[in-house]
Amino acid sequence: MNAKKNVVVTGAGGTLCSVIAVDLARQGHNVVLVGRTLDKLRRTEEEIKAFGGSCICVTADVNDETQVKVLRDKVHEVYGLVTVLVNGAGGNQLDAVTTINEFDPKELEDERDGLRGFFNLDMDRFMDVIRTNTMGTVIPSRVFAEDMIEAGGGNIVNFASMNTYRPLSRVPAYAIAKAGVSNFTQWLAAYLAPAGIRVNAVAPGFFVNERSRKLLTTPDGGLTPRGGHIIYNTPMHRFGEARELIGCVNFLIDDEAAGFVTGITVPVDGGFLSSAGL
């Protein structure tokens, strides 16, 4: 992807997509940083501006099509048509995560002492997780694919997960959503192929971010039981680093290197999917 492109990165204030956004700007592309929290976007913007890169920050809720269309109008005013979209917005919510791995009769009782099972999850938060990860991918794709059609082609990169392949314990809403992202990636790739738009996804393994740090690590820098189990089942025996996603994303949006690649989801997981844990 040598020619300068106009790139939208949603979730650009997050641990993973901030690094991807900075790399894209370093390559000389115009990068639109999108997220709900301006302060987080500003940190990414400052890093880009420090080396003279081109970017703008726009706050928007990617679940709201009206807001995403307003976002597109702002981008047109500054940069013009968008031909690369990285759908990185997503994540999980604590109230949609169980505290147990299997059914416990206590979750049906009135007094549960903090125990959170499938039967007493907050269904509003459950739906929020599904909505943000699925519709937060569908809506920006629909809005910015119109730009790509007008431009004669483009690329969309979605964010899947290890949950795309295995429904990991404790995170049912997130698992549903990320399985859906991969399926939608395939569907949209076939649908948009006649328009010259390639649609692919990256599936990160276990990368520690602000939200997962408390679940996977201890205050003294050690591992929680869940974190230790993940490392045991990851052949490379470590968590991933955000910069290790850059090569995969760059490959997927490179029309020369990956011009015949569409509809795939690429795991970047340290071998997690190759291990049965035995």
What is the number of other CB atoms lying within 10 angstroms of the CB of residue 139? 23
| Residues 214, 209: Cα–Cα separation, whole Å | 9
Known catalytic membership, residue 232: no
Per-residue pLDDT of the chain (278 residues), as tens digits, is: 458 999 999 999 999 999 999 999 999 999 999 999 999 999 999 999 999 999 999 999 999 999 999 999 999 999 999 999 999 999 999 999 999 999 999 999 988 888 999 999 999 999 999 999 999 999 999 999 999 999 999 999 999 999 999 999 999 999 999 999 999 999 999 999 999 999 999 999 999 877 777 778 888 888 888 889 899 999 999 999 999 999 999 999 999 999 999 999 999 999 999 988 77
Task: Tell me the domains of the chain and their CATH numbers.
Answer: 6-92+133-211+242-274 (3.40.50.720)
Q: Which two tokens stand for residue 92?
A: 């999980």
Annotated active-site residue in 79, 165, 174, 232: 174
| Residues 61, 72: Cα–Cα separation, whole Å | 13
In our burial notation (b when 16+ CB lie closer than 10 A, e otherwise), range 149-170 reads bebeebbbbbbbbbbbbeebeb
- pTM score over 0.85: yes
The one-letter amino acid at 175: A
Q: Give the count of alpha carbons within 13 A of 17, CB side only.
A: 28
- Which region holds residue 90: left if phi is over 0, alpha if psi is between -120 and 50, else beta? left
The pLDDT, as a whole number, for residue 39 is: 96
The pLDDT, as a whole number, for residue 220 is: 86
